[in-house]
Amino acid sequence: MTQNVVISGYGWLASYVGKALSGKVNIVGTTRSQQKRLALKDQGITAIEYALGEDTSALCNHLPNATLLLNIPPGRRNTDLASYTNNMLQLIDAAISVKVAHIVFISTTSVYGDATNEVVSEVSTTQPQTASAKAHVTIEDYLLSKRDQVDISIVRLAGLVGPDRHPARSLSGRQLDAGNKRINLVHVYDIVSALTTIICGKPLNDVIHLCSLSHPKRGIYYVDAAKAMDIDAPRFSDTEAEPAGKVIDAAQSWSRLNITPEYSDPYRMF
């Protein structure tokens, strides 16, 4: 029987994951837009119109023995993080109640906050500072508490980069501080490799990091990236100061997945 993979939150990242999984699994995707639902249908994807907090019945029809990829961020404009968190936990409960086989939760390395200058590993203590990061930690902890009922894989992503997405574009021409802060980025193609391995292989029942293996200062890296992309470079203060900020150590996670990231050096990302 072909494996069902239900992707709840079929956005930018999911579009890359869906392409990689096409032909290997049966993909079901959720979207809040009727137009997007029809577009997904044209791509051969079973599409469900669903927004977090709505009735989960239609979604749950596809979840027994399936893998559920939870890829629903709270959104930058969402100020009601309590509602977001509660709705996510209710969706998780609904999935477990119909015997979903595996839940993969897309989380973020922002759960470590920005107050540390340390190297953080998968077992480092979380120190969330923003409401979004705190919500992610709550959802992670809830999922980990359910490992006796369902297989869980929690994937903490560093800053996202792709062929059509690079932070240097949004920083172009700006005057910024903390040029000595280290960067933590991950390329979408490496994320796809990891998620394909996790979904089609053995569940982790644990937490992993996905991040590049090199962490240059942002005051150097983003200027170099802007020059390479032929856009106005940002200007940073403090670039000459000693490197600061957290370093996301993902070496153990990549090794665990038996993956050598193609974009281990951020300078390959532009």
Q: What is the mean pLDDT of the chain?
A: 95
Per-residue pLDDT band for 238 (boundaries 50, 70, 90) equals very high
Which CATH architecture group holds 4-162+186-211+249-261?
A: 3-Layer(aba) Sandwich (3.40)
Q: What is the pLDDT of residues 122-140, one digit of tens each?
A: 999 999 999 999 999 999 9
Whole-angstrom distance, CA of residue 244 vs CA of residue 144: 31
Closest residue by Cα to residue 52 from 19, 74, 67: 74
- Listed by start position, the domains of the chain span 4-162+186-211+249-261
181 burial (CB, 10 Å; 0-12 / 13-18 / 19+) is buried
Q: Measured in whole angstroms, how far is the alpha carbon of residue 70 from the centre of its chain?
A: 9
Q: What is the pLDDT of residues 53-71, one digit of tens each?
A: 999 999 999 999 999 999 9
Per-residue pLDDT band for 115 (boundaries 50, 70, 90) equals confident
Q: What is the pLDDT of residue 43?
A: 86
Q: What is the pLDDT of residues 210-221, one digit of tens each?
A: 999 999 999 999
Instruction: Specify the DSSP class assigned to residue 162.
Output: B
N- to C-terminal Cα separation, the chain: 41
DSSP assignment of 213-232 equals S---BHHHHHHHHHHHTTSP
- Across the range 177-204, mean pLDDT stands at 97
Whether the per-residue pLDDT at 1 is higher than 70: the answer is no
With H, G, I as helix, E, B as strand and everything else as coil, classify residue 55: coil
26-31 and 102-108: which strand pairing? unpaired
Type and span of the H or E element at 105: strand 102-108
Q: What is the pLDDT of residue 75?
A: 78
- Across the range 246-257, mean pLDDT stands at 98
Per-residue pLDDT band for 110 (boundaries 50, 70, 90) equals very high
Residue 51 C-beta-side C-alpha neighbours within 13 Å: 6
Q: Where are the alpha helices (DSSP H) in the chain?
A: 12-21, 34-42, 57-60, 81-97, 131-144, 167-171, 188-200, 218-228, 251-257
Token pair recorded at residue 157: 């992503």
Whether the per-residue pLDDT at 50 is higher than 60: the answer is yes
Per-residue pLDDT band for 41 (boundaries 50, 70, 90) equals confident
